[in-house]
Amino acid sequence: MRDLNFQVKEILLRNRDGSESTRANRWRLCMSICNDLRQLGFKNLDLHNLKQKHVKALINGWQERSLKPGTQKNYMAALRWVCEKIGKSNLVARSNDALGIPDRSNLPDASKGKDVIPAQLAHISDPYVVMALRLQAMFGLRREESMKFTPSWADKGDKITLKRSWCKGGREREIPVRTDDQRAVLAEARALAGKGSLIPAELRYVDQLQIYKSQCRKVGIGFAHGHRHFYAQERYRELTGWDCPVRGGPTAKQLTAAQKAIDRTARMTVSAELGHGREQITVNYLGR
């Protein structure tokens, strides 16, 4: 009998939904689920014999290990994906509440926003990595989006367009070009990349990703996602006229009715430009 890991690997290889980073993350989560089931005593489990008792055992095990609610929900999303592929969509409840998984807390204690620091960039030898980092701060791009960014195609003048294949969840989006600094960065990106992307022509994405990680570690950039937070916070201030809560701005309770309307519109705009579809997600970037 083929073991559970092997069966799940076959499904992962046959179904390549989403971006490369999404697939890599799904692979990691699914393999972890298989290993957890084995450690829980289900050593000869066939994937097609998966039952609700196995799902309950997983959740109980995660909660005994005090995994964060967000981590549990990520595991469940991967498990739902596998169940859908084997025709068992009803095996896992769609609601995490029904499974006893509490809501995650998105309220940050402080700002995670980080602008690019020239002194750090000066010590990065790969010009493609430098440009990717600058694009992240200037347009709020994810790491993969910034690396696959093809300036000659994406630059539409008053906006940039991101292809579905670059984006998490395959959600194509547009981001306005509003400032001279943004226009200057795009011009430099186009000069560097020519007709290509910010991955050298002779390299694959996975190869350039390793260079990116190595270069960032060398100069102490450990949380490049902070550049995305920086964009969100700067954009919010531009749209509202005041700082967001994690930067010391007024909280929701302190806003007037008129300000709350401005706040919501700004958050929806920021959410869309970051590639999310929900206002709630902005709490992680801006606070509440």
* Residue-wise pLDDT tens digits, 131-147: 999 999 999 999 999 99
Mean pLDDT of the chain: 91
Nearest to 106 by CA among 246, 249, 220: 246
CATH architecture of structural domain 118-222: Orthogonal Bundle (1.10)
- Of the two residues 145 and 115, the one the predictor is more confident about is 145
**Residues 221-271: tens digit of each pLDDT:** 876 778 999 999 999 999 999 999 999 999 999 999 999 999 999 999 999
Strands (E), 164-208: 173-176
- Of the two residues 11 and 113, the one the predictor is more confident about is 11
Contact 75, 62 (CB under 8 A): yes
Domain ranges of the chain: 4-99, 118-222, 228-286
pTM here is: 0.69
Amino acid (1-letter code) at residue 191? A
- Per-residue pLDDT at 109: 62
The pairs formed by 202-210 with CB atoms below 8 angstroms and a separation of 24 or more are 205/20, 205/144, 205/147, 205/148, 206/20, 208/128, 208/147, 209/147
